[in-house]
Every structure is written in structure tokens, then in C-alpha cells.
Amino acid sequence: MWRIMVAGLAAMMAAPVAALGVGPATPVPLAVDGLARQTLAWMDHGKARTCEGVWLRDVLAKAGAPAGEALRGDALRMMVLVEAADGYRVVFSLGELDAKLGNAQLLLADACDGTPLDEADGPHRLVAAGEARGARSVRQVTRILLVPLTD
């Protein structure tokens, strides 16, 4: 069993190396530069917003998570846990995020409406566009884990 840890997101988009890694226990630094920046329009409590950042699926793929044709069998039992500074947590299945399966539009944003995120929202926010409620959009993201679903 393995898990992916994404930590120290404060420097992720600005620095060429972040505390992002793959391994059974110890994260291995991984360069995240080169991920394509995206723009996503969504409704935030009735207010139209446009945010910029990177797709969460691209962050996970860069860290070694299975995607596309490799996402099958036991890999479909993987959960993506996103945690905020205040301890708030949400979960997605890895299949939900995959472009060939659920294709959920989950953006790890560092700016909205042309402005870097402020302290109340950032430095990173997970934007879960397309959901009827915003309950799985997470402000002040501090940790992302990919963990296997066990019996």
C-alpha cells in the first residue's frame, strides 16, 4: 500500500520544488513547475467567480498517482483527502478526478478574480466547480493525501 502526500502548498505554484511526494512514509520532493495553469469560472455562494491555478488531477499525476488507462482495479479504491488549516476535510475518489472517468473539475487555486487569494481563503483553495453545494470546496488547503480504501 502507498499514499501520496502533498504538503507545504504555500510555495507550490511559485517555487520549482514543493513538499510534494510519493512514498510509503517519507515524502520525496518533486518539481511541480510545468503544470499547465488553468482558469475556472464557478459560482461561490451565488457570486460568479473566476479562479486560476492547476487541476488537482495534474498535481496527483505529477506525484505518481495512476490516471487514464492505469486507473483500474485496486487503484479505483483510492481516496483523495483534502484538509484545511482548521481541520476541515473532504474526500473524493481518485476515479472522480480522472479525465477519462468522473472528470470532476477540481482546481487548486492560488488566485481568484485576478487577485492572489487572501489569508482567509489561501494561499491555496480547492475549488469544486459544478457541485450543487460548495461543501467540498476547501479554503486554506494544508494537506492532500491519497489513501487506499481498506476493509
* Contact present, 6 and 20 (Cβ < 8 Å): yes
What confidence category does residue 32 fall into, taking pLDDT thresholds of 50, 70 and 90?
A: low
> What is d(CA 64, CA 113) in angstroms, rounded to the nearest whole number?
31
Please state, in angstroms and as integers, the Cα–Cα distance from residue 87 to each residue in 53, 59, 72, 97, following that order: 22, 21, 31, 22
pLDDT of residue 30: 39
pLDDT of residue 149: 81
Cα–Cα nearest to 108, from 21, 35, 31: 35
Region 7-20: what's the mean pLDDT? 34
pLDDT in tens, 71-93: 989 888 888 888 888 999 999 99
Has residue 42 got a pLDDT over 80? yes
The parent domain of residue 116 ranges over: 33-148
Is 93 part of any domain? yes
- For residue 96, the SS3 value is helix
Is 13 part of any domain? no
- The number of distinct structural domains making up the chain is 1
Is 40 part of any domain? yes
Q: Which of 28-42, 74-88, 106-120 has the lowest mean pLDDT?
A: 28-42
Task: Give pTM, 2 decimals.
Answer: 0.79
Average pLDDT, the chain: 78
Has residue 19 got a pLDDT over 90? no
Region 52-69: what's the mean pLDDT? 89
Cα–Cα nearest to 7, from 43, 55, 59, 47: 59
Is 24 part of any domain? no
What's the CATH number where 102 sits?
Answer: 3.90.420.10
